Amino acid sequence: MTKFEIRGLRADVLISEDERQEILKGVDLTINSGETHAIMGPNGSGKSTLAYAIAGHPRYEITEGEVLLDGENVLDMEVDERARAGVFLAMQYPVEVPGVSMSNFLRSSVTSVRGEAPKLRQFSKELQGAMKNLSIDAAFAARGVNEGFSGGEKKRHEILQLELLKPKVAVLDETDSGLDVDALKIVSEGINRAQADSDLGVMLITHYTRILNYVKPDFVHVFSEGRIAESGGPELADVLESEGYERFAKAGA
């Protein structure tokens, strides 16, 4: 049983050497293992900022609050330590790292997170299986990390990493955007598999209720102007879909 708590989190985006802007204005959220929390909110409200701040992105700085994984402050950890502790972020815009092959990258990260190098044979079997489950062609393993991947291909690879790294909590930032109907289903199945596998806690950032038909949320939160403006059950998603965010934007202002 894992408890992931975000408490009073405030964060700035570092715009330049001497310019910064507060984006997160006090976020509180608790995710227990096995739970799925959908986060919905208007463009620019700070959802990705929240995701990046949790992961330790260098362009953001936390000014207040804590993020606890089973009581341990994740914010005191280095970026790679956070990942090894069991926090995973599927990025809205996965990064291309030219020249580093996907297979080398995956082997390095699995080795780091598991604390020992998997047997080569066993790992390539595991990798092949995981890729097949996500309908990723085997040829991708030899390509550079996300290098020239289409938007949808990048998203599938984020979920591939989720499945290989088996974290305790995963923040999925718009993993559904850019996916075609079939891919959406395939990726959703991947998320559900990961959850069934290891009782994963999920923070699912999305603009569309479409994915929520496959990945059933236990809670839906409205994110507006740097904080959670309202929380409810799955039915809140439908309200948002039909009515939009207008009243929350006003409430938050």
Q: Contacts by 177-186 with C-beta closer than 8 Å and gap 24+? A: 177/92, 177/151, 177/206, 177/207, 177/208, 178/150, 178/151, 178/152, 178/154, 179/152, 179/155, 180/152, 182/135, 183/135, 183/152, 183/155, 183/156, 184/210, 184/211, 184/214, 185/214, 186/134, 186/135, 186/156
Q: Which of 36, 45, 48, 146 touches Mg ion by CB under 5 A?
A: 48
Query: 35 CB contacts (<8 Å, ≥6 apart)?
Result: 201, 202, 218, 219
**Binding track over 59-98 against another protein, x by CB under 8 A:** -------------------xxx-xxx----x-x--xx-xx
How far is it, in rounded angstroms, from Cα 154 to Cα 52? 17
Choice between 54 and 83, CB closer to ligand ATP: 54
List the single partner that 25 binds among Mg ion, another protein, ligand ATP, none, CB under 5 to 8 Å by kind. none
Q: Which of 2, 36, 49, 195 touches ligand ATP by CB under 6 A?
A: 49
Residue 118: CB minimum distance to another protein, A: 13
Choice between 44 and 129, CB closer to ligand ATP: 44
Count the site residues for ligand ATP by CB under 6 A: 13
Q: Which of 6, 50, 165, 187 touches another protein by CB under 8 A?
A: 165
Choice between 92 and 161, CB closer to Mg ion: 92
The 8-class DSSP code of residue 170 comes to E
CA dihedral 30, 245, 62, 159 (to 10 degrees): 60
How far is it, in rounded angstroms, from Cα 127 to Cα 164? 8
Residue 229: CB minimum distance to Mg ion, A: 16
Q: Does 117 bind ligand ATP (CB under 6 A)?
A: no
Say which amino acid occupies 252: G
**Binding track over 116-135 against Mg ion, x by CB under 5 A:** --------------------
Q: What is the contact surface with another protein in residues (CB under 8 A)?
A: 55-58, 78-80, 82-84, 89, 91, 94-95, 97-100, 104-105, 108-109, 112-113, 144-145, 161, 165
